A and B are shown apart, each in its own frame.
Chain A
Amino acid sequence: MARYGMALDYKSCINCKACETACKEENGILMGADSHRIWVGTGEIEGQYPMLDIVSNTFYPSQCQHCEEAPCEEVCPTQATYYDEGGIVRVDPEKCILCSYCMNACPYDARYVDNRTMTVDKCNFCADTRLARGETTTACQNTCPTKVRIFGDLDDPNSEISEVLRTREHFSLKANLGTKPKLFYLT
């Protein structure tokens, strides 16, 4: 049984947004600012010209954290949000009643309303597209020019993600909430 996660070498991100585009293309995400499964957050540059603090100008690619203790899964009244066999947090649009409780409960703002199905949607590591076709990478990972993203099985000690998490320091977002995210930011 796999346990999928993703490591992000976020300091290599150049904010080209190719990942956002690839995600939309691969998964048929509609256009519009609110319709996005993944995004690149930008820290504002601090300081006054010419004394700018270029270190503050960091890009944080992000998406659903695929938490092991996912608040969105706990609060779903119809079990529309569920963990699949690979530990990926997914949404069954057949069961979603659009109560929006998961959108409120997710600490990462990772959920939005998909206007095609009028249900809540989120990143699923391309589980119903690329992974379903037998590929081993996600669209965002595949397209990234600076190889920020490493997707793989955390339970496989020989996988690239396991290797990198063993050898490099990393942190998770809002880890204090006890959600046990499976997105890891490499430092």
Chain B
Amino acid sequence: MKIRDYIPMREDFSIKSLLSFEKTAVNILLAAVILGFLALFVVGVAIYLQHGHHAYNVTREHPWGLLIGVYIFFVVSSTGLCIVGSLGDVFGFKDYMMISKRAIFGSIVTIVAGFAVIAFEIGHPVTMLIYNVVSPGLTSAIWWMGTLYGLYLTFMIVEFYFLLNNKMKKARIFGLTGLLVGLAAHSNLGGVFGFLNARQISNGVYYPTYFILTAFITGIFIAFIMFGFRYKLNFPENAKKLLMGLAKIQALLISILIFFVTWKMLTDIYGGMPNRAEVAIHILGSWTFWAEVFLAMLIPLFLIIKDMGRNPIVLFWASMGGMIGIFFMRYNLVHDTQLKPLQMLKLKEYQLAPQWIEYFPSSTEIMISLGGLGLCMLLYYIGTKAFNLDETH
């Protein structure tokens, strides 16, 4: 009995095939980057295991740091890839079938990377596994988010299995269920912030809906990157057609996002609500906000509209920049939520009353975050070697 009897892997898949790749400068650089990031992951985790949260720059006033942002970055990517993958195999858009398998596999590796990162942010992950089941907090958005993401991962794996076996009907059923569970999980992640009535800047319906929108945008950015590497920027006609379609959807989605963000800022500032207006004004003064706006919104939108999505090479590079912008989007979301001090009086002699909460990630947080990216890239590379991720019929 072999694993290949159950999972249709490539015939030539082996450790040797993993190590054999075309020795171009880009490939060697990528291999070095992946190995370097994984080494950083090991070092970061080792430091964390010795010092716990003291290795992070999180504080009483800023309890969530970079790792929460990176976790959100990965799970948003996963949901986005699930949406992109579902266009073909769930909703039956034939032009998008050729990316379904690749996108669904991408959704699995990104959420695994997210779980790998969050495991070192949650102080007691084993306790979490036990008491999430033994005494579930059903009023907690985190409980729903975590539980639904666990289910979502299961559905994605089953869907991928059926896609590999060309059992499209079953893949559609699990794909649709996985998509719905994933969207529920993802909007709950937005709810984690939206439910915080202590944090006026995040409280409300905005994040649960915005998360779904930005997930789709992220999924399309990654679709461009995946296809860019798959075809080494030399796209065949059917890939060009698919990417042009995605680019047009992306233009619409980014336009809606710009509309969302503009009105969020306008209502925050002109609404004048205490603890919300001044935070929004403070956010406008931070370079990370503008990195998000330019890299994830204005530049990709301009480049898509310039030739109506007909130049996938340019959009590949725009998507690379877009993902950097999406990273800042997640980081900003976490940091901006905690900007305003809850305790506005001074607590110590010679201390000034706090104005804004400062935070910059520690080297350990950065190492684990980059390690998550390395893990994601490694798993994806293994997937491309182990499975046929192209459309087979």
- Chain A residues at the B interface, C-beta cutoff of 8 Å: 33-34, 39-44, 60, 62, 71, 74-80, 94-101, 103-109, 111-113, 118-119, 177-178
Contacts of B286 in A (CB 8 A): none
CB A160 to nearest CB in B, in angstroms, measures 27
- How many residues of chain B have a CB within 8 Å of chain A? 43
Q: In residues 51-103 of chain B, which contact A (Cβ within 8 Å)? A: 52-53, 58-61, 63-64
A71: which of B198, B337, B346 is its contact (CB, 8 Å)? B198
30 A–B contacts from the bound complex (CB under 8 Å): A39-B347, A41-B344, A42-B346, A44-B352, A71-B198, A76-B137, A77-B137, A77-B140, A79-B137, A95-B135, A96-B127, A97-B125, A97-B127, A97-B131, A101-B192, A104-B338, A105-B196, A107-B197, A107-B342, A108-B343, A109-B60, A109-B61, A109-B341, A109-B342, A109-B343, A113-B53, A118-B53, A118-B123, A118-B124, A119-B124
B199 at the interface (CB under 8 A from A): yes
On whether the beta carbons of B346 and A44 are closer than 8 Å, the reply is: yes
**A76–B64 Cα gap in the complex (Å)?**
15
Contact A104 B127, CB 8 Å, known A118-B53, A177-B198:
no
On whether the beta carbons of A75 and B60 are closer than 8 Å, the reply is no
Given known A34-B59, A75-B139, A76-B140, contact A98–B53 (CB-CB < 8 A): yes
Across the interface, do A113 and B347 meet the contact criterion of CB distance under 8 Å?
Answer: no
B177 at the A interface (CB under 8 A)? no
A interface, over-half SS: loop
Q: Is the CB of A100 within 8 A of B347?
A: no
Report which residue of A60, A78, A96, A103 has the largest number of chain B beta carbons within 10 angstroms of its beta carbon: A78
Contact A78 B60 (CB under 8 A): no
Neighbour of A97 across the interface among B58, B122, B342, CB < 8 A: B122
Which B residues form the contact surface with A (CB < 8 A)?
52-53, 58-61, 63-64, 122-125, 127-128, 131-132, 135-137, 139-143, 146, 192, 195-199, 337-338, 341-348, 352-353
Q: How far is the CB of A83 from chain B (nearest CB, A)?
A: 13
**Cα distance A108–B341 when bound, in Å?**
10
Provide the bound-state CA to CA distance between A177 and B146, in Å. 27
A13 to chain B minimum Cβ distance, whole angstroms, is 12
Could you tell me if A99 and B122 are in contact, using CB atoms closer than 8 angstroms? yes
Judging by beta carbons under 8 Å apart, are A41 and B196 in contact?
Answer: no
**Partner of A75 from B124, B136, B141, B345 at Cβ < 8 Å:** B141
Which of these, A42, A79, A97, contacts B124 with CB under 8 Å?
A: A97
- Residues on B with C-beta less than 8 A from A42 are 345-347
CA distance A182 to B198 in the complex (A): 17
Which A-chain residue is minimally distant from B192 (CB atoms)? A101
Given A78-B136, A100-B63, A104-B64, verify A41-B198 contact (CB < 8 Å): no
A101–B142 Cα gap in the complex (Å)? 8
Which residues of B lie under 8 Å from residue A118 when comparing CB positions? 52-53, 123-124
Q: Which residue of B lies closest to A73 (CB)?
A: B139
With both chains docked as a complex, state the minimum distance between the C-beta of A53 and any C-beta of chain B, in angstroms.
15
- Cross-chain contact of B346 among A41, A76, A177 (Cβ < 8 A): A41
Q: Which of B132, B198, B348 contacts A78 (CB 8 A)?
A: B132
Decide: A112 and B60 in contact? CB cutoff 8 A: yes
Q: In whole Å, how far is A33's beta carbon from the nearest beta carbon of chain B?
A: 7
Please give, as numbers and ranges, the residues of chain B lying within 8 Å of A104 by CB-CB distance.
Answer: 63-64, 196, 198-199, 337-338
A178 contacts across to B, CB distance below 8 A: 197
The listed residue (B127, B343, B348, B353) touching A95 by CB distance below 8 A is B127
Bound complex: CA of A76 vs CA of B135, how far in Å? 10
Q: Name which residue of chain A comes closest to B59, CB basis.
A: A34
Query: How far, in angstroms, from A106 to B341 measured CA to CA in the complex?
Result: 12
Cα–Cα, bound, A42→B125 (Å):
38
Inside 8 A of B131's CB, which chain A residues have their CB?
A: 78-80, 95, 97
What is the minimal beta-carbon distance from B149 to any residue of chain A, in angstroms?
12
A108 to B64, CA, bound (A): 17
Q: Contact between B136 and A97 (Cβ–Cβ < 8 Å)?
A: no
CA separation between A75 and B192, bound complex, in Å?
A: 8
Query: Which listed residue (B128, B346, B347, B348) contacts A99, Cβ 8 A?
Result: B128
Closest CB in chain A relative to B37 CB, distance in Å? 25
Which A residue sits closest to B195, measured CB to CB? A75
Which of A74, A80, A98 gathers the greatest number of chain B CB atoms within 10 Å? Answer: A98
Contacts of B61 in A (CB 8 A): 109
Instruction: Please name all residues of chain B whose beta carbon is closer than 8 Å to the beta carbon of A60 when the two chains form the complex.
Output: 345
Residue contact A71 to B197, C-beta cutoff 8 Å: yes
Alpha-carbon distance between A76 and B52 when the two chains are bound, in angstroms: 21
Q: Which residue of A lies closest to B123 (CB)?
A: A98
Which residues of chain A are near B146, meaning CB under 8 Å? 77
Are A41 and B60 in touch, CB under 8 angstroms?
Answer: no
Question: For residue B338, which residues in chain A have a CB less than 8 angstroms away from its CB?
Answer: 104
CB-nearest residue of chain B to A76: B137
Residue on A with the closest CB to B118?
A99
* A7 to B63 CA separation, bound complex (whole angstroms): 29
Determine the distance from Cα of A106 to Cα of B229 in the docked complex, in whole angstroms.
46
